[in-house]
Amino acid sequence: MHEISLVQGLLSQLQELARQNNMNRVVSITMDIGPLSGVVADSFRFGFEILAQEDDLVRDATLVINTTTVTYRCTGCDATQQTRGDKPDNCPACGELFLLAEGGDELILNRVEME
Ligand SMILES: [Zn+2]
């Protein structure tokens, strides 16, 4: 489960942020996770809950996960459609089968609230 090492990376990033800003506690964290990032949101949350317990800075923090969308662009007519990760069978406008994914592969620390 590679989410554990991603969570470890997140926690050291938070330690660094807290040190720079003289903060003692993380109140909430918002992550943007794309459906094509290869990160399973549930596993990420699970890893977070385990590791956060051993970490005074984030023990009581709330983790919010936003699942972002993927835009599929038609190579025939340029029409776009957004999904939660599922690749559409074809273009609804012209029926073209070859669609290109744009975005959806992000893993971003969107927002941190500290005190
Ligand atoms: Zn099309």
Kindly report, residue by residue over 76-105, the tens digit of the pLDDT.
999 999 999 889 999 999 999 999 999 999
Residue 17, H or E segment? helix 3-21
The backbone torsions φ and ψ at residue 105, rounded to the nearest 5 degrees and listed phi first, read -110, 20
**83 Cα: distance to centroid of ligand 1 (angstroms):** 16
Tell me the pLDDT tens digit for each residue of 17-53: 999 999 999 999 999 999 999 999 999 999 999 999 9
Q: What is the pTM of this model?
A: 0.85
pLDDT band at 14 (very low <50, low <70, confident <90, very high): very high
**Sequence ranges of the domains in the chain:** 3-114
**68 Cα: distance to centroid of ligand 1 (angstroms):** 23
For residue 60, the model assigns a pLDDT of 94
Sheet holding 26-33, edge to edge: 62-67, 26-33, 107-114
**94 Cα: distance to centroid of ligand 1 (angstroms):** 4
Domain 3-114 has CATH 3.30.2320.80: yes
For residue 85, the model assigns a pLDDT of 86
**91 Cα: distance to centroid of ligand 1 (angstroms):** 5
**38 Cα: distance to centroid of ligand 1 (angstroms):** 27
Q: Is the pLDDT of residue 1 over 80?
A: no
Residue with tokens 């964290």: 29
Contact 93, 78 (CB under 8 A): no
Residues 6 or more apart in contact with residue 32 via CB below 8 angstroms: 66, 68, 106, 107, 108, 110
Cβ-based neighbour number of residue 110 at 10 Å: 14
**33 Cα: distance to centroid of ligand 1 (angstroms):** 27
